[in-house]
Amino acid sequence: MEKYGPTLQISEQIHKEKYRGTNESFYESMNRLAGALHDGEEHRTKIKDIFLDQRFLPAGRVQAAVGSPRQTTAFNCFVSQTIEDSTEGIMDGATNAFKTMRKGGGIGYDFSTLRYRGAPIQTLGSKASGAVSFMDIYDAVCNTVSSAGNRRGAQMGVLRIDHPDIEEFIRAKQNDGRLKNFNISVAVTDAFMEALENDEAFDLVWDGKVVDTIDPSALWDEIMRATWEWAEPGVLFIDTINEQNNLRYCEYIAATNPCGEQPLPPYGACLLGSFNLVKYLTVDVDYDVVPAGKEIREFNWEQFKHDIPHVVRALDNVIDRTIFPLPEQESEARNKRRIGMGITGFANASEILGMEYGGEESIDFLDKVMSVLKNTAYMYSAELSIEKGTFPVYNARSYHDSPFIKGLDPITREVVGKYGLRNSHLISIAPAGTISLTADNVSSGIEPVFALETQRTINTEEGIEIVQVPDYAYANYRVEGKVSEQVTMDEHLDVLAIAQRHVDSAVSKTCNVGEDVSWEDFKDLYVRAWKAGCKGITTFRASGKRFGVLNAVPVPELDEGAACFIDPSTGDKSCG
């Protein structure tokens, strides 16, 4: 039998431990997936080939859950219900979060609905402890799920920038003990950014009433300082998220999944996977044309276009062939049929083709890859709707008024306008850290290569062993790619902005910040990201307080916690 799947020892071990059943081989696991997700024998054969060759890497939850006897959901992450500002509402949200994480799903929350610290509670004759205080309850719930031996929980906590507790929220994780099971992000409004630019006073409000008026520059400096030193909070440009949402006519988005690549409405769910770009590289050696020992490397655009429809069909089937932690989540998923296909191995693929990461050629390559993915996916989702029907809340007039839909190629818009769509959203770029490692350590998502070789700790039958893990391009093509510490902030932003242009959900991208970057340039990066139309931005500064501590810890003892985590020894981002 032909050898399929990972070849590196650590890649094989991680895939086996995380995604397969007892004594199940890689071949058998991919055969299981294809058998559970196909629509007929021809489709089964196609997606089996795609999965076996690792041209498309379904998200970890999909690989572990689909066709498996395990009672876990194939959806990676969810966003919580709207948390009502009452004891019952808060505890009901915590109960549903527990049910969601127990089935393997991460979850994001908007805590802006909870009243601010010191606000009067008329029915009790007392004062509220504030939105941030109740995050501790959800943090404990997540910790309980983790200690129960299930998948490590992952959570995102969001607070609007105009909430009166915003300063307390910004400072909430400036230690190594509190809210360890959370990522946190500030939902920044256009009104705030405009007040910041115009040096105008900004109101903090609750229930439509002004509670305080602040200097936006001082608040922005506090957010930036926290991010500079502690790598949190992240920033979500919440008005951009809603303005660009295909379903802005029927939903409002206030939070995202734990890694930020999926802005979702209450009870929303994300179904993810990544096309592995290195698997679309062809190498042609023709000694009559090319000097001996030289290779012509090209990207196989036809194979890429051919694979996308089969993956769209398979992921659409996941929605109907998995379990959901809550009936409300199932209803939400089936009414809108969101999927999130992205890419991984971008840095490796572009550099194998001779393009420097972040350079003009690589940006053009990314632009083309994402344009092909976007237009092919939307074209096929329209064709699939002829066979299976449009997603239930599809409204032709309102949907086609979306800025993103207007940005599709004319022929794609024409087909979508004629037939509608099976899926409301189709594109998302996730961190893809673990699945990329299981594909022989290809560069994650659209991130640069962290290092040409890293050390990883694995458990073997003989005990703990530290192994050397080479970068895919370096190991297979002897290509010494541009590592993350060599990538400038401008290059990071260019990659993020061009990717977001083609993504209907959002992009998980960490902008690494070197020690030579000035404080003013760092702050300006966030403003430029807003102006470039990005839906959010996260930065990583290895010399910051949190990661300075982590770097001093021996690799085997690193505590990833239960939120999304950047491993300082490898640069990989994971979300549990």
3-class DSSP string for 348-403: HHHHHCCCCCCCHHHHHHHHHHHHHHHHHHHHHHHHHHHHHCCCCCCCHHHHCCCH
The runs of H, that is alpha helices, within 199-300 are: 216-230, 238-243
In the structure encoding, which two tokens stand for residue 512, read together?
């690494």
Nearest to 161, CA basis, from 88, 102, 238, 82 = 238
Nearest to 160, CA basis, from 196, 136, 184, 140 = 184
Catalytic residue annotation: 257, 259, 261
The DSSP secondary-structure symbol of 277 reads: G
Instruction: Compute and round to an integer the Cα radius of gyration of the chain.
Output: 23
Q: Using CA atoms, how far apart are residues 95 and 144, in angstroms rounded to an integer?
A: 12
What CA–CA distances, in Å, run from 110 to 256, 340, 498? 9, 21, 28
3-class DSSP string for 97-136: HHHHHHCCCEEEEEHHHCCCCCCEECCCCEECCCHHHHHH
Nearest to 315, CA basis, from 39, 16, 1, 32 = 39
List CB contacts of 458: < 8 A, sequence separation 6 or more: 9, 10, 13, 464, 465, 466, 467
The DSSP secondary-structure symbol of 148 reads: T
| CA angle (101 as vertex; 95, 103 as ends), nearest 5 | 110
Nearest to 489, CA basis, from 520, 455, 444 = 520
Q: Using CA atoms, how far apart are residues 513 and 300, in angstroms rounded to an integer?
A: 34
- Interhelix angle 360-388/410-419, rounded to 10 degrees, is 20
Nearest to 477, CA basis, from 348, 299, 287, 290 = 348
Nearest to 77, CA basis, from 327, 394, 340, 438 = 340
Nearest to 357, CA basis, from 219, 238, 495 = 495
Residues in the chain: 576
Residue type, 114: L
Strands, DSSP E only, in 277-344? Answer: 281-284, 296-299, 340-344
Q: Which residue has the tokens 């379904």?
A: 58
| CA angle (83 as vertex; 325, 247 as ends), nearest 5 | 75
Q: Measured in whole angstroms, how far is the alpha carbon of residue 107 from the centre of its chain? A: 12
Burial class, 188, CB count within 10 angstroms (exposed 0-12 / middle 13-18 / buried 19+) = buried
Q: Using CA atoms, how far apart are residues 431 and 453, in angstroms rounded to an integer?
A: 19
Q: Using CA atoms, how far apart are residues 38 and 315, in angstroms rounded to an integer?
A: 10
